[in-house]
Amino acid sequence: MSSLNPIDGFTYKEAGSAFRTYENLKSQISVDARKKTTTINTGMAGFNYVEFVMELNEEPQAVVDGQTVLASVLDLEEELLVHNRRMVFVNNSAPEIKLRGLTKGAKLHVIGIPRIDLALVSWRTQNFKKLKQPEILQWNLPYEIVVVAVVK
C-alpha cells in the first residue's frame, strides 16, 4: 500500500498524449471456443503513470478488492479528453480512502496506470456473436485506469 503515492521527482506523462494513445491503440481479440482461450494482440502504449483530473460520472461501486467508478478524463486545465472510462481503486489504499464518500460530479487530481479491462474483454467475447458484430473483437484496446495516487 505504501507504494500507492506520488513518486517524488518523477515526471508523469501528459494526459492529452497518453489518453490519445490509449484511445487509439488497436487491438485484436481472438476466441478459441474449443481450447476455451482468449488472446489479445495489441501494440505497446508506452505511457504508464499519467497525471490527470477525473470527474465521477456515477457513484463509486464496491468490488471485492476495492472500488470502481466510471469517470470523465480531463487534462490539468480540465479540458475533456475522454467521456467515460472505468477507474479502479485498490481497497484501503490512499486513493480509495479519498474516493470514499465522493458522489457524481466530484473531481480528483490523480496519477493512474492503464491496464486491460477484463470485464470489457469478457463482454466483447460474449457478445460479438449474439449481436452479429464480429468487428467488436477489433475495436480499440479495452482498457481501464488503476488510480495509484491522489495529487491534491
Query: What residue ranges do the domains of the chain occupy?
Result: 13-150
Provide the greatest CA pair distance for the chain: 50
Pairing of strands 107-116, 143-150: antiparallel
pTM, two decimal places? 0.90
Q: CATH top-level class for 13-150? A: mainly beta
Smallest Cα–Cα separation from 114: which of 76, 88, 149? 88
pLDDT score at 109: 97
- Dist CA 148 CA 104 (whole Å): 20
Q: What pLDDT score does 17 carry?
A: 95
C-alpha–C-alpha distance, residues 132 and 103, integer Å:
37
Q: Give me the average pLDDT of each 10-residue run along the chain (152 residues).
A: 79 94 93 91 86 97 95 97 97 95 96 93 90 90 94 82
pLDDT of residue 43: 83
The DSSP annotation for 43-105 comes to ------SEEEEEEESS--EEETTEEEEEEEEE-TT--EEEEEEEEEEETTSHHHHHHTT--TT
> Rounded to an integer, what distance in angstroms lies between the CA atom of residue 144 and that of residue 1?
20
State the cell numbers at 33: 471456443
